[in-house]
Amino acid sequence: MTRPTILVVEDEASIQRVVRTYLESAGYQVISSENGAEALALAQAHRPDLIILDLNLPGMDGMEVAARLRERSDVYILMLTARAEEADRVAGLKIGADDYLTKPFSPRELVARVEAILRRQRRAAPPDNVRRFRHLTIDPDRYETTTPNGPLELTPTEFKVLWELALHAGRVLTREQLLDRVWGIDFYGNERVVDVYVGQVRRKLEEATGEPLIETVRGVGYKLVDQPA
């Protein structure tokens, strides 16, 4: 996993330095800016995972920067404010900041808040349905199959055949089971169609990877023999 990138927008050099030092030693990649306009450009170019945004900036203030960020992204924002007034905090959260810290703050507290926000992000991430093997990565939501040599072109039916085999990797699926799962129980035809499609998928996999990844279990059915990644 790549290290999360954090953009620090703070015009006070001493604070920026301390924040950077603590975040870097906590394992984050840090980029920084002293003004809002540059921060917007950096956010666009680097797509940080989180932005630490000082409210009081020369020129475009933090409130304005947050509003403009929100127009085009839902990046996490942690506001820094010197003002303790409740109204400012509420305004900051309303404009879309995910959390705020009032100055002076402890750098450890800042790192803890950053970690909490990024954990939130991981929890909210959609479940990953992708199946990963040594020679194959199969993504059912995108209908994509990738091999170490690049993407593999499969027809929708071929993809469904491979997906069913992947769900039961290492175990045999009978022709009848494949027929039911891929073509549906209402399919009017015989199990010969399964042999044809499995044959096509097997040939494509072997061409792409050089490996015989689908095994025939004579008189029974087929199984995918690729090892889990």
**Residues engaged in binding Ca ion (CB under 5 A):** 11, 54, 56
Strand partners, 216: 222
In angstroms, the CA 42 to CA 33 distance is 8
In the numeric block, which tokens belong to residue 113?
């808040």
Shortest Å, Cβ 54 to Ca ion: 4
Nearer to Ca ion, 104 or 126 (CB): 104
Nearer to Ca ion, 57 or 205 (CB): 57
Closest residue (Cβ) to Ca ion?
A: 56
HSE-CB of 12 using CA atoms within 13 angstroms: 13
Nearer to Ca ion, 16 or 137 (CB): 16
HSE-CB of 67 using CA atoms within 13 angstroms: 8
Nearer to Ca ion, 11 or 211 (CB): 11
Strands 5-9 vs 29-33: parallel, antiparallel or unpaired:
parallel
Contact 138, 145 (CB under 8 A): yes
Fill in the DSSP letter of residue 228: B
Contact 211, 135 (CB under 8 A): yes
Contact 229, 175 (CB under 8 A): no
Q: Of 23, 38, 22, 210, whose CA–CA distance to 118 is shortest? A: 23
SS3 149: coil
Shortest Å, Cβ 24 to Ca ion: 21
Nearer to Ca ion, 56 or 174 (CB): 56
SS3 32: strand
Nearer to Ca ion, 8 or 26 (CB): 8
